[in-house]
Amino acid sequence: MEETIQKMILEGKTALGIEFGSTRIKAVLVGEDNMPIASGKHEWENQLVNNIWTYSMEAIMDGMQACYADLAKNVKEKYQTELTQVGALGISAMMHGYMAFDSEGKLLVPFRTWRNTITEEASEKLTELFSYHIPQRWSIAHLYQAILNGEEHVGQISYLTTLAGFIHWKLTGQKAMGVGEASGMFPIDIQTKDYDEGMVQKFDALVQEKQFGWKLRGIMPNVMLAGECAGTLTEEGAKLLDASGTLQAGAKVCPPEGDAGTGMTATNSVAVRTGNISAGTSVFAMIVLEKELSKVYNELDMVTTPTGNLVAMVHCNNCTSDINAWVKLFDEFAKSIGVTLKTEELFGLLFKKALEGDFDCGGLLAYNYFSGEHITGFEEGRPLFVRTPDSKMNLANFMRVHLFTALGALKTGLDILIHQEKVKVDTILGHGGFFTQKEVAQKIVAAAMDTPVSVMKMASEGGAWGIALLASYMNTKKDGESLESFLQDRVFAQGQGSEVAPEKEDVEGFNVFIGRYLKGLPIERAAVENL
Protein backbone atom coordinates (compact mmCIF):
# COMPACT_ATOMS: atom_id res chain seq x y z
CA MET A 1 0.00 0.00 0.00
CA GLU A 2 2.79 2.40 0.95
CA GLU A 3 4.61 1.71 -2.34
CA THR A 4 1.41 2.37 -4.31
CA ILE A 5 0.90 5.73 -2.59
CA GLN A 6 4.57 6.60 -3.04
CA LYS A 7 4.22 5.93 -6.78
CA MET A 8 1.10 8.17 -6.92
CA ILE A 9 3.02 10.99 -5.23
CA LEU A 10 6.04 10.66 -7.52
CA GLU A 11 3.84 10.59 -10.63
CA GLY A 12 1.71 13.55 -9.47
CA LYS A 13 -1.52 11.54 -9.39
CA THR A 14 -2.71 13.45 -6.38
CA ALA A 15 -4.86 16.48 -5.53
CA LEU A 16 -4.01 19.05 -2.88
CA GLY A 17 -6.51 21.18 -0.99
CA ILE A 18 -5.58 24.05 1.32
CA GLU A 19 -8.18 25.83 3.44
CA PHE A 20 -7.65 28.99 5.48
CA GLY A 21 -10.00 28.58 8.44
CA SER A 22 -10.54 31.04 11.25
CA THR A 23 -8.13 29.37 13.67
CA ARG A 24 -6.24 26.91 11.47
CA ILE A 25 -4.82 26.62 7.98
CA LYS A 26 -5.01 23.01 6.85
CA ALA A 27 -3.69 21.11 3.84
CA VAL A 28 -4.92 17.69 2.71
CA LEU A 29 -3.35 15.60 -0.04
CA VAL A 30 -5.58 12.92 -1.60
CA GLY A 31 -4.69 9.95 -3.79
CA GLU A 32 -6.45 8.48 -6.81
CA ASP A 33 -9.26 7.11 -4.61
CA ASN A 34 -9.85 10.65 -3.26
CA MET A 35 -9.00 9.58 0.29
CA PRO A 36 -6.46 11.62 2.32
CA ILE A 37 -2.91 10.29 2.28
CA ALA A 38 -1.17 13.18 4.07
CA SER A 39 -1.99 16.45 5.81
CA GLY A 40 -0.43 19.55 7.30
CA LYS A 41 -1.62 22.38 9.49
CA HIS A 42 -0.76 25.74 10.97
CA GLU A 43 -2.57 27.39 13.87
CA TRP A 44 -3.32 31.10 13.70
CA GLU A 45 -5.66 33.72 15.14
CA ASN A 46 -7.22 36.93 13.91
CA GLN A 47 -6.34 40.26 15.49
CA LEU A 48 -8.59 43.15 16.45
CA VAL A 49 -6.78 46.19 15.02
CA ASN A 50 -8.50 49.58 15.21
CA ASN A 51 -11.77 47.73 15.89
CA ILE A 52 -11.37 45.67 12.69
CA TRP A 53 -10.98 41.88 12.79
CA THR A 54 -8.11 41.10 10.46
CA TYR A 55 -5.17 38.87 9.56
CA SER A 56 -1.97 40.57 8.44
CA MET A 57 -0.46 39.86 5.03
CA GLU A 58 2.57 38.40 6.81
CA ALA A 59 0.34 36.05 8.83
CA ILE A 60 -1.42 34.91 5.64
CA MET A 61 1.73 34.19 3.65
CA ASP A 62 3.79 32.79 6.53
CA GLY A 63 0.85 30.64 7.60
CA MET A 64 0.37 29.21 4.10
CA GLN A 65 4.05 28.34 3.82
CA ALA A 66 4.15 26.80 7.30
CA CYS A 67 1.09 24.70 6.53
CA TYR A 68 2.53 23.46 3.25
CA ALA A 69 5.90 22.72 4.88
CA ASP A 70 4.08 20.64 7.52
CA LEU A 71 2.32 18.72 4.74
CA ALA A 72 5.58 18.09 2.86
CA LYS A 73 7.17 16.90 6.10
CA ASN A 74 4.25 14.53 6.69
CA VAL A 75 4.64 13.10 3.16
CA LYS A 76 8.35 12.53 3.65
CA GLU A 77 7.88 10.87 7.06
CA LYS A 78 5.09 8.56 5.87
CA TYR A 79 6.30 7.65 2.39
CA GLN A 80 10.05 8.45 2.36
CA THR A 81 9.68 10.68 -0.67
CA GLU A 82 9.79 14.38 -1.49
CA LEU A 83 6.60 16.12 -2.60
CA THR A 84 7.79 17.57 -5.88
CA GLN A 85 4.51 17.81 -7.78
CA VAL A 86 0.74 17.51 -7.40
CA GLY A 87 -1.75 16.69 -10.13
CA ALA A 88 -4.29 19.30 -9.10
CA LEU A 89 -4.65 22.01 -6.50
CA GLY A 90 -7.44 24.01 -4.88
CA ILE A 91 -7.62 26.91 -2.44
CA SER A 92 -10.42 27.57 0.03
CA ALA A 93 -10.89 30.04 2.86
CA MET A 94 -13.41 31.54 5.23
CA MET A 95 -16.02 33.22 3.04
CA HIS A 96 -16.85 36.88 2.58
CA GLY A 97 -14.84 39.85 3.77
CA TYR A 98 -12.98 42.53 1.88
CA MET A 99 -9.57 42.57 0.21
CA ALA A 100 -9.12 45.57 -2.09
CA PHE A 101 -6.02 46.04 -4.27
CA ASP A 102 -4.72 48.84 -6.49
CA SER A 103 -3.44 48.41 -10.05
CA GLU A 104 0.01 47.40 -8.78
CA GLY A 105 -1.36 44.66 -6.53
CA LYS A 106 -0.95 46.60 -3.28
CA LEU A 107 -3.47 45.90 -0.51
CA LEU A 108 -5.20 49.24 0.05
CA VAL A 109 -6.60 48.65 3.55
CA PRO A 110 -6.10 45.77 6.03
CA PHE A 111 -8.11 42.62 5.21
CA ARG A 112 -11.61 42.94 6.71
CA THR A 113 -12.84 39.46 7.63
CA TRP A 114 -16.34 37.96 7.76
CA ARG A 115 -16.31 38.51 11.52
CA ASN A 116 -16.75 42.29 11.29
CA THR A 117 -20.23 43.68 11.83
CA ILE A 118 -19.47 47.22 10.67
CA THR A 119 -21.57 47.47 7.51
CA GLU A 120 -25.12 47.69 8.83
CA GLU A 121 -26.01 50.85 6.90
CA ALA A 122 -24.71 49.42 3.61
CA SER A 123 -26.36 46.08 4.24
CA GLU A 124 -29.77 47.67 4.80
CA LYS A 125 -29.56 50.05 1.83
CA LEU A 126 -28.40 47.37 -0.60
CA THR A 127 -31.04 44.93 0.62
CA GLU A 128 -33.67 47.58 -0.15
CA LEU A 129 -32.11 48.46 -3.52
CA PHE A 130 -31.85 44.84 -4.71
CA SER A 131 -34.92 43.41 -2.90
CA TYR A 132 -32.45 40.70 -1.91
CA HIS A 133 -30.87 40.16 1.48
CA ILE A 134 -27.29 41.46 1.56
CA PRO A 135 -25.58 40.32 4.79
CA GLN A 136 -23.05 42.53 6.52
CA ARG A 137 -20.30 39.99 5.83
CA TRP A 138 -20.60 40.16 2.04
CA SER A 139 -17.88 41.89 0.04
CA ILE A 140 -20.36 44.20 -1.69
CA ALA A 141 -21.61 45.41 1.71
CA HIS A 142 -18.02 46.18 2.77
CA LEU A 143 -17.42 48.02 -0.51
CA TYR A 144 -20.55 50.14 -0.26
CA GLN A 145 -19.92 50.89 3.42
CA ALA A 146 -16.44 52.15 2.50
CA ILE A 147 -18.12 54.37 -0.10
CA LEU A 148 -20.67 55.66 2.45
CA ASN A 149 -17.82 56.33 4.87
CA GLY A 150 -15.99 58.35 2.24
CA GLU A 151 -12.87 56.20 2.43
CA GLU A 152 -10.21 57.53 0.06
CA HIS A 153 -8.96 54.15 -1.10
CA VAL A 154 -12.16 53.24 -2.96
CA GLY A 155 -11.24 55.24 -6.06
CA GLN A 156 -7.94 53.35 -6.33
CA ILE A 157 -9.48 49.86 -6.39
CA SER A 158 -8.39 47.71 -9.32
CA TYR A 159 -9.35 44.31 -7.87
CA LEU A 160 -11.76 43.31 -5.10
CA THR A 161 -11.69 39.75 -3.83
CA THR A 162 -11.85 37.44 -0.82
CA LEU A 163 -9.06 35.60 0.97
CA ALA A 164 -9.53 32.47 -1.18
CA GLY A 165 -9.59 34.58 -4.35
CA PHE A 166 -6.45 36.42 -3.28
CA ILE A 167 -4.43 33.26 -2.65
CA HIS A 168 -5.63 31.79 -5.96
CA TRP A 169 -4.55 34.98 -7.75
CA LYS A 170 -1.09 34.81 -6.17
CA LEU A 171 -0.60 31.15 -7.08
CA THR A 172 -1.99 31.28 -10.64
CA GLY A 173 -2.10 34.91 -11.73
CA GLN A 174 -5.82 34.42 -12.48
CA LYS A 175 -8.60 36.64 -11.09
CA ALA A 176 -11.15 33.84 -10.85
CA MET A 177 -13.57 32.51 -8.25
CA GLY A 178 -15.89 29.55 -7.77
CA VAL A 179 -19.58 30.41 -7.97
CA GLY A 180 -20.19 29.40 -4.35
CA GLU A 181 -17.53 31.78 -3.06
CA ALA A 182 -18.66 34.46 -5.51
CA SER A 183 -22.20 34.17 -4.10
CA GLY A 184 -20.78 35.50 -0.82
CA MET A 185 -19.45 38.57 -2.59
CA PHE A 186 -22.49 39.53 -4.68
CA PRO A 187 -25.87 37.95 -5.57
CA ILE A 188 -25.76 35.23 -8.24
CA ASP A 189 -28.32 34.71 -11.00
CA ILE A 190 -29.16 31.01 -10.71
CA GLN A 191 -29.97 30.82 -14.44
CA THR A 192 -26.74 32.36 -15.76
CA LYS A 193 -24.51 31.10 -12.90
CA ASP A 194 -22.93 34.56 -12.83
CA TYR A 195 -23.36 37.84 -10.93
CA ASP A 196 -26.94 39.09 -11.25
CA GLU A 197 -26.65 41.58 -14.13
CA GLY A 198 -29.68 43.63 -13.09
CA MET A 199 -28.25 44.14 -9.61
CA VAL A 200 -24.80 44.93 -11.04
CA GLN A 201 -26.35 47.71 -13.13
CA LYS A 202 -28.29 49.02 -10.12
CA PHE A 203 -25.10 49.22 -8.09
CA ASP A 204 -23.15 50.94 -10.86
CA ALA A 205 -25.96 53.49 -11.19
CA LEU A 206 -26.03 53.99 -7.42
CA VAL A 207 -22.36 55.03 -7.27
CA GLN A 208 -22.04 56.60 -10.74
CA GLU A 209 -21.90 60.16 -9.42
CA LYS A 210 -18.78 59.29 -7.40
CA GLN A 211 -16.86 58.84 -10.70
CA PHE A 212 -14.49 56.21 -9.30
CA GLY A 213 -13.21 55.21 -12.72
CA TRP A 214 -14.31 51.60 -12.37
CA LYS A 215 -17.44 49.53 -12.95
CA LEU A 216 -18.32 46.68 -10.61
CA ARG A 217 -17.71 43.81 -13.04
CA GLY A 218 -14.33 45.28 -13.89
CA ILE A 219 -13.02 44.90 -10.34
CA MET A 220 -14.67 41.58 -9.40
CA PRO A 221 -13.29 38.06 -10.07
CA ASN A 222 -14.60 36.01 -12.99
CA VAL A 223 -17.19 33.44 -11.84
CA MET A 224 -16.47 29.78 -12.59
CA LEU A 225 -18.18 26.45 -11.88
CA ALA A 226 -16.89 23.29 -10.23
CA GLY A 227 -15.12 21.12 -12.81
CA GLU A 228 -13.68 24.04 -14.77
CA CYS A 229 -9.95 24.77 -14.73
CA ALA A 230 -9.14 28.19 -13.26
CA GLY A 231 -5.46 28.32 -14.16
CA THR A 232 -2.21 26.53 -13.38
CA LEU A 233 0.33 26.87 -10.61
CA THR A 234 2.93 29.33 -11.90
CA GLU A 235 6.67 29.26 -11.15
CA GLU A 236 6.17 32.27 -8.90
CA GLY A 237 3.17 30.63 -7.23
CA ALA A 238 5.07 27.39 -6.58
CA LYS A 239 7.90 29.30 -4.89
CA LEU A 240 5.37 31.27 -2.86
CA LEU A 241 3.64 28.11 -1.67
CA ASP A 242 6.78 26.03 -1.07
CA ALA A 243 9.55 28.19 0.39
CA SER A 244 12.03 25.31 -0.05
CA GLY A 245 11.67 25.50 -3.83
CA THR A 246 10.99 21.76 -4.18
CA LEU A 247 7.45 21.98 -5.58
CA GLN A 248 7.23 22.16 -9.37
CA ALA A 249 4.90 24.48 -11.25
CA GLY A 250 2.21 23.33 -13.67
CA ALA A 251 -0.50 21.78 -11.51
CA LYS A 252 -4.04 22.55 -12.70
CA VAL A 253 -5.94 24.67 -10.17
CA CYS A 254 -9.70 24.53 -9.64
CA PRO A 255 -11.82 27.63 -8.95
CA PRO A 256 -11.24 28.80 -5.35
CA GLU A 257 -14.18 28.14 -3.04
CA GLY A 258 -15.34 29.31 0.36
CA ASP A 259 -15.65 27.14 3.44
CA ALA A 260 -19.38 26.82 2.79
CA GLY A 261 -18.83 25.19 -0.61
CA THR A 262 -16.06 22.94 0.61
CA GLY A 263 -18.17 21.93 3.59
CA MET A 264 -20.99 20.92 1.26
CA THR A 265 -18.54 18.93 -0.86
CA ALA A 266 -16.88 17.22 2.11
CA THR A 267 -20.26 16.09 3.43
CA ASN A 268 -21.80 15.06 0.08
CA SER A 269 -24.41 17.81 0.50
CA VAL A 270 -24.54 19.41 -2.94
CA ALA A 271 -27.78 17.78 -4.13
CA VAL A 272 -31.26 19.24 -3.48
CA ARG A 273 -32.94 18.35 -0.18
CA THR A 274 -29.57 17.77 1.47
CA GLY A 275 -27.98 19.98 4.08
CA ASN A 276 -24.97 20.31 6.29
CA ILE A 277 -23.91 22.11 9.42
CA SER A 278 -20.37 23.41 9.76
CA ALA A 279 -19.62 24.16 13.39
CA GLY A 280 -16.33 25.64 14.52
CA THR A 281 -15.43 29.22 15.48
CA SER A 282 -18.55 30.23 13.56
CA VAL A 283 -21.49 28.00 12.69
CA PHE A 284 -23.58 27.84 9.57
CA ALA A 285 -26.18 25.55 8.09
CA MET A 286 -26.58 25.08 4.35
CA ILE A 287 -29.79 23.65 2.88
CA VAL A 288 -29.92 23.01 -0.89
CA LEU A 289 -33.34 24.18 -2.04
CA GLU A 290 -35.81 22.78 -4.55
CA LYS A 291 -37.16 26.25 -5.32
CA GLU A 292 -36.86 29.94 -4.43
CA LEU A 293 -38.12 31.08 -1.03
CA SER A 294 -41.42 32.94 -0.90
CA LYS A 295 -39.84 36.20 0.28
CA VAL A 296 -36.66 37.88 1.53
CA TYR A 297 -35.56 37.09 5.09
CA ASN A 298 -32.84 39.09 6.80
CA GLU A 299 -31.94 35.99 8.82
CA LEU A 300 -31.20 33.91 5.70
CA ASP A 301 -28.44 34.30 3.12
CA MET A 302 -28.97 32.98 -0.39
CA VAL A 303 -25.78 31.46 -1.80
CA THR A 304 -24.98 28.55 -4.10
CA THR A 305 -23.32 25.16 -4.25
CA PRO A 306 -20.02 24.95 -6.19
CA THR A 307 -22.16 24.01 -9.22
CA GLY A 308 -24.53 26.96 -8.85
CA ASN A 309 -27.61 25.39 -7.19
CA LEU A 310 -29.56 27.64 -4.83
CA VAL A 311 -28.75 27.29 -1.14
CA ALA A 312 -30.30 28.88 1.94
CA MET A 313 -27.59 29.64 4.45
CA VAL A 314 -28.05 30.41 8.14
CA HIS A 315 -24.77 31.92 9.30
CA CYS A 316 -23.86 32.83 12.88
CA ASN A 317 -20.61 34.41 13.97
CA ASN A 318 -20.23 32.52 17.24
CA CYS A 319 -20.06 28.84 18.06
CA THR A 320 -17.16 27.15 19.88
CA SER A 321 -15.02 30.05 21.15
CA ASP A 322 -16.80 30.27 24.52
CA ILE A 323 -16.80 26.48 24.96
CA ASN A 324 -13.05 26.48 24.29
CA ALA A 325 -12.53 29.22 26.86
CA TRP A 326 -14.36 27.26 29.56
CA VAL A 327 -12.52 24.04 28.72
CA LYS A 328 -9.21 25.92 29.08
CA LEU A 329 -10.37 27.04 32.53
CA PHE A 330 -11.10 23.44 33.54
CA ASP A 331 -7.72 22.43 32.13
CA GLU A 332 -6.04 25.09 34.27
CA PHE A 333 -7.86 23.78 37.36
CA ALA A 334 -6.86 20.19 36.58
CA LYS A 335 -3.21 21.14 36.23
CA SER A 336 -3.32 23.12 39.47
CA ILE A 337 -4.21 19.91 41.35
CA GLY A 338 -1.58 17.90 39.52
CA VAL A 339 -3.74 16.27 36.85
CA THR A 340 -2.72 16.52 33.20
CA LEU A 341 -5.21 15.49 30.54
CA LYS A 342 -4.81 15.53 26.79
CA THR A 343 -6.97 18.19 25.17
CA GLU A 344 -9.09 15.58 23.39
CA GLU A 345 -9.61 13.66 26.65
CA LEU A 346 -10.75 16.80 28.47
CA PHE A 347 -13.16 17.80 25.71
CA GLY A 348 -14.51 14.25 25.58
CA LEU A 349 -15.04 14.13 29.34
CA LEU A 350 -16.85 17.48 29.47
CA PHE A 351 -18.95 16.93 26.32
CA LYS A 352 -20.15 13.54 27.56
CA LYS A 353 -20.96 15.07 30.94
CA ALA A 354 -23.48 17.31 29.13
CA LEU A 355 -25.55 14.24 28.27
CA GLU A 356 -26.17 13.68 32.00
CA GLY A 357 -27.79 17.11 32.41
CA ASP A 358 -31.47 18.01 32.58
CA PHE A 359 -33.12 18.12 29.18
CA ASP A 360 -33.64 21.91 29.46
CA CYS A 361 -30.23 22.57 31.12
CA GLY A 362 -31.79 22.99 34.55
CA GLY A 363 -32.80 26.61 34.00
CA LEU A 364 -29.28 27.82 33.18
CA LEU A 365 -28.70 30.41 30.44
CA ALA A 366 -25.61 31.37 28.45
CA TYR A 367 -24.70 33.48 25.42
CA ASN A 368 -21.54 32.67 23.47
CA TYR A 369 -21.29 36.08 21.78
CA PHE A 370 -17.59 36.83 21.39
CA SER A 371 -18.61 39.12 18.53
CA GLY A 372 -21.87 40.51 17.19
CA GLU A 373 -24.70 38.27 15.98
CA HIS A 374 -26.84 39.72 13.18
CA ILE A 375 -29.67 37.17 13.47
CA THR A 376 -30.47 38.36 16.99
CA GLY A 377 -29.56 42.00 16.31
CA PHE A 378 -26.18 42.45 18.00
CA GLU A 379 -23.28 44.43 16.55
CA GLU A 380 -21.06 43.49 19.49
CA GLY A 381 -21.07 40.55 21.86
CA ARG A 382 -20.26 39.72 25.48
CA PRO A 383 -19.86 36.06 26.49
CA LEU A 384 -22.33 35.60 29.31
CA PHE A 385 -23.42 32.95 31.78
CA VAL A 386 -26.42 33.62 34.03
CA ARG A 387 -28.76 31.69 36.33
CA THR A 388 -31.47 32.20 38.89
CA PRO A 389 -30.97 31.22 42.55
CA ASP A 390 -33.09 28.11 42.02
CA SER A 391 -31.50 26.97 38.74
CA LYS A 392 -29.93 23.51 38.94
CA MET A 393 -26.28 24.43 38.83
CA ASN A 394 -24.06 21.41 38.28
CA LEU A 395 -21.32 20.45 35.82
CA ALA A 396 -23.63 18.47 33.53
CA ASN A 397 -26.12 21.33 33.14
CA PHE A 398 -23.28 23.85 32.82
CA MET A 399 -21.75 21.97 29.90
CA ARG A 400 -25.14 21.24 28.35
CA VAL A 401 -26.17 24.89 28.29
CA HIS A 402 -22.92 25.87 26.59
CA LEU A 403 -23.43 23.23 23.91
CA PHE A 404 -27.04 24.35 23.48
CA THR A 405 -26.21 28.05 23.23
CA ALA A 406 -23.55 27.32 20.59
CA LEU A 407 -26.56 26.55 18.35
CA GLY A 408 -28.97 29.14 19.78
CA ALA A 409 -28.73 31.80 17.06
CA LEU A 410 -28.59 29.12 14.38
CA LYS A 411 -31.83 27.60 15.64
CA THR A 412 -33.74 30.87 15.17
CA GLY A 413 -32.79 30.97 11.49
CA LEU A 414 -33.42 27.29 10.81
CA ASP A 415 -36.90 27.56 12.29
CA ILE A 416 -37.80 30.02 9.50
CA LEU A 417 -36.80 27.51 6.83
CA ILE A 418 -38.39 24.48 8.42
CA HIS A 419 -41.56 25.95 9.94
CA GLN A 420 -42.36 29.00 7.78
CA GLU A 421 -41.06 27.97 4.36
CA LYS A 422 -41.80 24.25 4.89
CA VAL A 423 -38.41 23.33 3.38
CA LYS A 424 -37.88 19.57 3.22
CA VAL A 425 -34.52 18.12 4.23
CA ASP A 426 -33.79 14.43 3.74
CA THR A 427 -30.47 14.40 5.52
CA ILE A 428 -28.22 16.69 7.57
CA LEU A 429 -24.49 16.09 7.82
CA GLY A 430 -22.22 17.66 10.39
CA HIS A 431 -18.56 18.66 10.25
CA GLY A 432 -16.13 21.00 11.95
CA GLY A 433 -14.49 21.19 15.37
CA PHE A 434 -17.81 20.97 17.25
CA PHE A 435 -18.19 17.43 15.87
CA THR A 436 -14.85 16.18 17.19
CA GLN A 437 -16.89 14.52 19.94
CA LYS A 438 -19.31 13.42 17.26
CA GLU A 439 -21.86 11.35 19.19
CA VAL A 440 -22.48 14.17 21.68
CA ALA A 441 -22.54 16.89 19.04
CA GLN A 442 -24.87 14.87 16.80
CA LYS A 443 -27.29 14.38 19.68
CA ILE A 444 -27.34 18.12 20.45
CA VAL A 445 -27.75 19.16 16.79
CA ALA A 446 -30.47 16.54 16.26
CA ALA A 447 -32.31 18.01 19.25
CA ALA A 448 -32.00 21.54 17.85
CA MET A 449 -33.19 20.58 14.35
CA ASP A 450 -35.50 17.67 15.20
CA THR A 451 -33.81 15.89 12.28
CA PRO A 452 -31.41 12.93 12.07
CA VAL A 453 -27.78 14.06 11.90
CA SER A 454 -24.93 12.10 10.33
CA VAL A 455 -21.20 12.64 10.67
CA MET A 456 -19.03 11.42 7.85
CA LYS A 457 -16.07 9.18 8.53
CA MET A 458 -13.87 11.95 7.13
CA ALA A 459 -15.60 14.84 8.94
CA SER A 460 -12.44 15.81 10.81
CA GLU A 461 -10.69 16.52 7.49
CA GLY A 462 -13.25 19.26 6.82
CA GLY A 463 -13.00 21.86 4.12
CA ALA A 464 -9.38 21.16 3.18
CA TRP A 465 -10.52 17.73 2.04
CA GLY A 466 -13.53 19.33 0.35
CA ILE A 467 -11.40 21.62 -1.81
CA ALA A 468 -9.05 18.70 -2.57
CA LEU A 469 -12.11 16.80 -3.84
CA LEU A 470 -13.10 19.75 -6.04
CA ALA A 471 -9.55 19.82 -7.45
CA SER A 472 -9.72 16.06 -8.06
CA TYR A 473 -13.13 16.39 -9.75
CA MET A 474 -11.76 19.06 -12.09
CA ASN A 475 -8.75 16.91 -12.95
CA THR A 476 -10.37 13.47 -13.34
CA LYS A 477 -14.06 13.98 -14.21
CA LYS A 478 -15.52 11.90 -17.00
CA ASP A 479 -17.57 13.36 -19.85
CA GLY A 480 -20.93 14.50 -18.50
CA GLU A 481 -20.10 13.48 -14.92
CA SER A 482 -21.78 15.85 -12.47
CA LEU A 483 -20.26 16.80 -9.14
CA GLU A 484 -23.15 15.01 -7.43
CA SER A 485 -22.35 11.79 -9.29
CA PHE A 486 -18.62 12.14 -8.68
CA LEU A 487 -19.16 12.47 -4.94
CA GLN A 488 -21.78 9.75 -4.67
CA ASP A 489 -20.06 7.16 -6.88
CA ARG A 490 -16.36 7.86 -6.46
CA VAL A 491 -16.03 9.28 -2.95
CA PHE A 492 -18.94 8.32 -0.71
CA ALA A 493 -20.01 4.98 -2.23
CA GLN A 494 -19.17 3.21 1.03
CA GLY A 495 -21.81 5.11 3.01
CA GLN A 496 -22.37 8.33 4.90
CA GLY A 497 -21.07 7.39 8.33
CA SER A 498 -22.90 7.27 11.64
CA GLU A 499 -26.39 8.72 12.11
CA VAL A 500 -28.08 9.88 15.31
CA ALA A 501 -31.84 10.43 15.38
CA PRO A 502 -33.46 13.08 17.59
CA GLU A 503 -35.00 11.96 20.88
CA LYS A 504 -38.31 13.45 21.98
CA GLU A 505 -37.09 14.59 25.41
CA ASP A 506 -34.01 16.28 23.93
CA VAL A 507 -36.09 18.11 21.31
CA GLU A 508 -38.57 19.31 23.93
CA GLY A 509 -35.73 20.34 26.23
CA PHE A 510 -34.03 22.36 23.47
CA ASN A 511 -37.31 24.10 22.71
CA VAL A 512 -37.67 25.09 26.38
CA PHE A 513 -34.09 26.36 26.34
CA ILE A 514 -34.57 28.38 23.13
CA GLY A 515 -37.61 30.07 24.67
CA ARG A 516 -35.43 31.10 27.62
CA TYR A 517 -32.66 32.16 25.20
CA LEU A 518 -34.93 34.49 23.22
CA LYS A 519 -36.58 35.93 26.33
CA GLY A 520 -33.16 36.61 27.89
CA LEU A 521 -31.69 38.59 24.97
CA PRO A 522 -32.21 41.91 26.84
CA ILE A 523 -29.72 40.57 29.43
CA GLU A 524 -27.12 40.22 26.67
CA ARG A 525 -28.05 43.71 25.43
CA ALA A 526 -27.46 45.13 28.89
CA ALA A 527 -24.06 43.42 29.05
CA VAL A 528 -23.04 44.95 25.71
CA GLU A 529 -24.17 48.41 26.80
CA ASN A 530 -22.69 48.35 30.30
CA LEU A 531 -19.65 46.06 30.22
Which of 235, 315, 311, 316 minimizes the C-alpha distance to 273? 311
- The phi, psi pair for 17, rounded to 5°, reads -120, 135
Residue 459: pLDDT band (50, 70, 90) is low
| Size of the chain in residues | 531
Residue 165: pLDDT band (50, 70, 90) is very high
Quick: pLDDT tens for 85-142: 999 999 999 999 999 999 999 999 999 999 888 999 999 999 999 999 999 999 999 9
Count CB neighbours of 91 within 10 A: 32
Quick: pLDDT tens for 38-75: 999 999 999 999 999 999 999 999 999 999 999 999 99
Q: Where are the alpha helices (DSSP H) in 209-357?
A: 216-219, 235-241, 259-266, 321-336, 343-354
> Average per-residue pLDDT in the chain?
94
Residue 460: pLDDT band (50, 70, 90) is low
Residue 284 has pLDDT above 70, yes or no: yes
Rounded alpha-carbon distances, angstroms, from residue 468 to 31, 50, 296, 465, 479: 10, 36, 34, 5, 20
State residue 490's pLDDT score.
Answer: 93
Quick: pLDDT tens for 325-343: 999 999 999 999 999 999 9
Q: How much of the chain exceeds pLDDT 90, in percent?
A: 83
Query: H or E stretch including 41?
Result: strand 36-43
Domain boundaries, the chain: 321-399+505-530
State residue 458's pLDDT score.
Answer: 67
pTM of the complete model: 0.83
Quick: pLDDT tens for 367-406: 999 999 988 999 899 999 999 999 999 999 999 999 999 9
Quick: pLDDT tens for 304-319: 999 999 999 898 999 9
Q: Which residues pair with 373 in a beta bridge?
A: 378
State residue 385's pLDDT score.
Answer: 98
- Cα–Cα distance for residue pair 441/350, rounded to 1 Å: 12
Q: What would the mean pLDDT of 404-430 be, rounded to a whole number?
A: 91
Query: H or E stretch including 366?
Result: strand 365-367
* 242 within 8 A of 29, measured Cβ to Cβ: no
Q: In the Cβ-directed half-sphere of 496, how many Cα atoms lie within 13 Å?
A: 19
Quick: pLDDT tens for 476-498: 999 999 999 999 999 988 765 78
Query: H or E stretch including 122?
Result: helix 120-130
